[in-house]
Amino acid sequence: MLFVFHMGKRKSYFIISLTILVFIVVSFTVFKTSKNGTSEKVKVSLRAVGHELLLSNQDSTSLVLPIVELNKGKFQLSFENKLSIAPSDLTTIIKQNINKASLPLYYLVEVKSCSSQEVVYSYEMKRAEEKSIIPCFGRVLERDCYLIEIHFINKGSSFSSSQIALIVFFALAFLFAVYFLYTSKSKEEKERSKSNYQSIGCFQFYPDQNKLVKEAVEINLSKKECELLSIFIENPNQIIKRDELTKRVWEDHGVIVGRSLDTYISKLRKKLIADASIKLTNIHGVGYKLEVKE
């Protein structure tokens, strides 16, 4: 075949887009599940707290009542029977169970009287031990009916360290996918630019780049030379009338010329002279023909 048109193909765009979508969906699902699961983790942890407080009272038979979520981040622990509470035991037991469950380390604890609903003991725990507020550490609350409320305080982030790590992972994965998409596209466009040519004899004609290439040697073409050569390549071994060439290259752009056509044809002949199988012939009084020997 005389003329071969080489086209690059797009690769991987659909797969990358699908991957990004999967990352977003999975990320949303994981965070939603994690958010719903936190409430259950708190309830399990607080039941363990209640159980240990009863054991510290030598009570292994009475029940820890169901944990109640009062509002967002605030939970209530209550008991079937009365008990006494030592603040030192309370703070230690709560801290150990919260750490074990990987729950937020900022929280406020209030111990209320069941009858009066007044706060009889409270303290605030922060990540930094020296900033935590734990008063009356040595005073024991006498045996009575108590409600223990724990309020997890939002300090700018509702995510645990593992959730933050997951956010970073998906963010990096997304950025990598976007970067890969961009670089792949750029590389493909470069390759496509290199491969979009038409063969004519020993030359490779790149109409988009206004050049001829012969054995890695580039021959630059002017815009008009490139337009003329494109017309000849579309109609090899056929006579193209002067009027048609003039109209398509000049008059269609609102410019009418005299001898410009002959000048550009002469320039093209000189640039094609390296291949004897190609000849740009003047058909006297009619036009020009690109003769190509197959």
Cα–Cα dist 78/95, whole Å: 18
Task: Check whether 31 has a pLDDT greater than 60.
Answer: no
Strands 278-283 and 287-292: antiparallel
Q: What is the mean pLDDT of residues 64-84?
A: 94
Identify the band that residue 131 occupies on the pLDDT scale cut at 50, 70 and 90: low
The pLDDT of residue 129 is above 60: no
Q: Is residue 80 scored above 50 in pLDDT? A: yes
pLDDT of residue 6: 37
Least confident range of 14-23, 85-94, 97-106, 143-152: 14-23
Per-residue pLDDT at 90 exceeds 90: yes
Percent of the chain at pLDDT exceeding 90? 28
Please name the amino acid found at residue 58. Answer: Q
pLDDT-derived band at 61 (thresholds 50, 70, 90) equals very high
Residue 70: pLDDT band (50, 70, 90) is very high
The answer on pLDDT for 273 being more than 50 is yes
Q: Which domains can be identified in the chain, with CATH numbers?
A: 13-161 (no CATH), 198-292 (1.10.10.10)
- pLDDT of 188 > 80? The answer is no
pLDDT the model gives residue 208: 80
Mean pLDDT of the chain: 79
* Reported pTM: 0.45
Strands (DSSP E) contained in the chain are 68-71, 74-78, 83-85, 107-113, 119-125, 141-144, 146-152, 198-200, 203-206, 211-214, 217-220, 239-241, 278-283, 287-292
